[in-house]
Amino acid sequence: MDDGRPTGPDANGWSRPTPPRTAARPTPEPPAPLSPAPLSPEPLSPAPENPGPPSQPPEPPAPARTPASGTQAAHLTGEAPAGRPRALHDPDPYGTPPCGGPGPWAPAPPVQQSPQWLRYDPWGTPPSPPSPPVREAIGEKGHRRRAVVVMVVVALVTGVIGGGLGAYSVLNGSFSDVRLPQAGRESPARAPGTVAGIAASALPSVVTLHVRGGDEADTGTGFVLDREGRILTNNHVVEPAGSAGDITVTFSGGESAKARVVGRDSGYDLAVVQVTGVSGLTPLPLGNSDNVQVGDPVVAIGAPFDLADTVTSGIISAKDRPITSGGGKNDGSDVSYVDALQTDAPINPGNSGGPLVDSKARVIGINSAIRAADDSSDTEGGQGGQGGSIGLGFAIPINQAKRVAEELINNGRAAHPVIGVTLDMKYAGDGARVAARANDGGPAVAPGGPGAAAGIEPGDIVTGVDGEQVHSAQDLIVRIRAHRPGDRLALTVRRDGRVRPVTLSLGSADGT
């Protein structure tokens, strides 16, 4: 800190260091005042690192002031005041006037002193770090400019590409409604042997029957037998109509007509009805069930659960399958005995009475019964409340159905072939045993009948028909019903452990 004693040149003066001198020399005369030169429009160049003597023109001297003391006078004359050491050099006549001093021009900027001449102030603010070189700042700014340019170029290219793709999509319909590829229309005709071909040929001849009588109603299927409007179906389909019920027949084209019963037989589970006032009917051709072999393809057509014109397909699973169905009246009058064709073509309630056709669309059977999963007995497919198909369907062979239909049309009833004996339906052994007495108490072997003529007696057990084994009374009835009255049969009869062959001619009994 200053203690009031001068330690160097006055702070109001500006000096430039000079070489040391050995003697004082007179103060030079101040130069004549110069006219102020016009300000140059050119920018000043930055000062070099080692500045030399100032090159700017000298500024006019400050106006003379009345010296206040010897010290101030010494400052103006360049002489050192008395009692004070002389400065090592004289004031620069061309230097900058004291800071804040008046002058005809704007004050000159303060002189930039090098760091070694700065006075250290421990209480001052530490000097700021030196600014980065100009070239480095310019480099960073250049990098930023290049990054911005790249981003702009990428944005422009992306926009051009996106616009091009959008225009291409619009021109090529990419933004229109989606349309998936699809095959063109083809001819509906199908090969005759295919399921579609068989169905197309048979469907126009298949009908749906709606039957009402009293509190009962049923739905079944049938098919056209001739151009006179006769239709073949199952007996259990039309049975609810009784004698005063209503039967409506609906054809595949949607036309409907009332029908009447021509004849029916519960033992064969067959019926014939007839419509009137309908023209253009197409009868369905009949095949020959004797030609059918296991494994032959078949098609079933009907109205399961009232779904008209339903087509299913399968094969013949077995032949000569003895089945009994019906029996709802508990007196045996509605029990049917059928030597059936078995098929895996799905048959359900409503299919009853419909045709089972071969690969040539010819009828080989009448769909009649199914084996339900919850019942060990064969049930009539047309009765409501029965289970659906499990692949065990049964059809009346067309050869038997044809004979019965002809008799119903011609006579109003069908004849049943018989052997003239009463069978024990409760016998649990193997074969069919002749009962001791008839149901009405009469003889079990009708006098003068076919059985009596062949020597059959009560208690005899029939074990075979035409070389096929018989395991129950139902089996024997089914085998007999598969023939016509007058046909000859070869029976195998066991009596007292002895087996003997018996030949007889079938008799006839009116059916109901």
Pick the catalytic residue: 218, 265, 269, 475?
Answer: 269
Cβ pair 369, 323 in contact under 8 A: yes
Q: How many CB atoms lie within 10 A of CB 328?
A: 14
Residue reference for tokens 């030196």 = 130
Under DSSP, the state recorded for 445 is B
CA 122/CA 140 separation, integer angstroms: 36
CA 442/CA 316 separation, integer angstroms: 43
CA 409/CA 397 separation, integer angstroms: 18
CA 294/CA 317 separation, integer angstroms: 6
Distances, alpha carbon 417 to alpha carbons 323, 421, 452, 486, 508, in Å? 17, 12, 15, 8, 5
Q: Collect all residues with Cβ–Cβ distance below 8 Å to 78 and sequence separation of at least 6.
A: 27, 90, 91
The pair of structure tokens assigned to 359 is 């690969």
Sign of CA dihedral 91, 93, 99, 100: positive
The pair of structure tokens assigned to 212 is 């009402």
Active-site residue flag, 269: yes
Which residues is 323 bridged to in the sheet? 338
Which residues is 499 bridged to in the sheet? 494
The pair of structure tokens assigned to 327 is 């029996």
Under DSSP, the state recorded for 19 is -
Q: How many CB atoms lie within 10 A of CB 154?
A: 10
Pick the catalytic residue: 75, 90, 218, 236?
Answer: 236
CA 200/CA 365 separation, integer angstroms: 18
Q: How many CB atoms lie within 10 A of CB 15?
A: 15
CA 285/CA 225 separation, integer angstroms: 8
Residue 20 CA, chain-centre distance (Å), reads 107
Residue reference for tokens 């700021």 = 128
b/e burial code for range 25-63 (CB count within 10 A of at least 16 → b): eeeeeeeeeeeeeeeeeeeeeeeeeeeeeeeeeebbeee
Q: Which has the closest alpha carbon to 403: 232, 281, 275, 242? A: 232
CA 67/CA 86 separation, integer angstroms: 19
Pick the catalytic residue: 201, 266, 289, 352?
Answer: 352
Sign of CA dihedral 6, 8, 13, 19: positive
**Residues acting as catalytic residues:** 236, 269, 352
